[in-house]
Amino acid sequence: IAGITQAPTSQILAAGRRMTLRCTQDMRHNAMYWYRQDLGLGLRLIHYSNTAGTTGKGEVPDGYSVSRANTDDFPLTLASAVPSQTSVYFCASSDGGGASDTQYFGPGTRLTVL
Amino acid sequence: GESVGLHLPTLSVQEGDNSIINCAYSNSASDYFIWYKQESGKGPQFIIDIRSNMDKRQGQRVTVLLNKTVKHLSLQIAATQPGDSAVYFCAENRKGSTLGRLYFGRGTQLTVWP
């Protein structure tokens, strides 16, 4: 069982480019999440999905979009990347979307926007 | 504002000693807490959790203590090993918040020296 996989591992991107970060889980978890991690700011929620077909905005959603066409995949898209989106991005999933469900994290994607 | 925080940003211990990592929270509505370990270049890894109806929970070499009176959470690692070197985050899942929303502290860097 792989758990959660993310791709790419790292990416350098020119400002203004479109980029999709991929996330796949094989645990059949209902809920999935995208976080960004910045030095000194910790992990911040970008978007989440409680179940396939639904998505919601987190703490820092601007400049990002997500889709949840099926249970396993939860891609994150930067429509037009800006340098402030340089960060490490983590995808996570949990069995339910409840307030007491443990979230399990992927290995992360390191994104640099120049 | 309310936040999950940590008393110390760094902690250095000798191999074989016990480690104690602290976390303070200010939201009395929080009812579920999680400790994560993050090694360099990897995603956060679940260690142990505790619900607000408990004061203590033990795992393998780890114990989490919850003091709701002073809104304090601690992670105790017994017989600390070099492989325990990592950043440790506490997270809370506040009752009534966005479903599945985790609020993370900024982390404590644990360094184990021989």
Q: What is the rounded average pLDDT for all residues in chain B? A: 87
Q: What is the pLDDT of residues A61-110, one digit of tens each?
A: 999 999 999 999 999 999 999 999 999 999 999 987 565 678 899 999 99
Interchain contact, A99 vs B45, CB within 8 Å: no
Interchain contact, A94 vs B100, CB within 8 Å: yes
pLDDT at A29: 92
Residue of B25, B30, B50, B101 to mutate for A, most A C-beta atoms under 10 A: B101
The Cα–Cα gap between A50 and A48 comes to 7
φ, ψ dihedrals at A51, nearest 5°: -165, 160
Which helix (H) or strand (E) covers residue A104, if one does? strand A104-105
Closest by CA to B65, choosing from B102, B35, B38, B86, is B35
Interchain contact, A40 vs B49, CB within 8 Å: no
Give the sign of the dihedral formed by CA A99, CA A101, CA A102, CA A105: negative
Residue of A102, A109, A110 to mutate for B, most B C-beta atoms under 10 A: A102
The Cα–Cα gap between B15 and B37 comes to 18
Query: Is the backbone peptide bond immediately before A8 cis, with ω within 30 degrees of 0?
Result: yes
The Cα–Cα gap between B71 and B51 comes to 13
Q: What is the rounded average pLDDT for all residues in chain A? A: 92
The Cα–Cα gap between A62 and A7 comes to 21
Residues in chain B: 114
pLDDT at B98: 56
Please tell me if residue A40 touches chain B, with a CB cutoff of 8 Å.
yes
The Cα–Cα gap between B56 and B50 comes to 7
pLDDT at B85: 96
Is residue A93 within 8 Å of A29, Cβ to Cβ? yes
Distance from CA of B98 to the nearest CA of A (A): 8
Q: Which residues pair with B25 in a beta bridge?
A: B4
> pLDDT grade, residue B6 (50/70/90)?
very low
Interchain contact, A101 vs B100, CB within 8 Å: yes
Please tell me if residue A9 touches chain B, with a CB cutoff of 8 Å.
no
Distance from CA of B41 to the nearest CA of A (A): 8
Is residue A13 within 8 Å of A114, Cβ to Cβ? yes
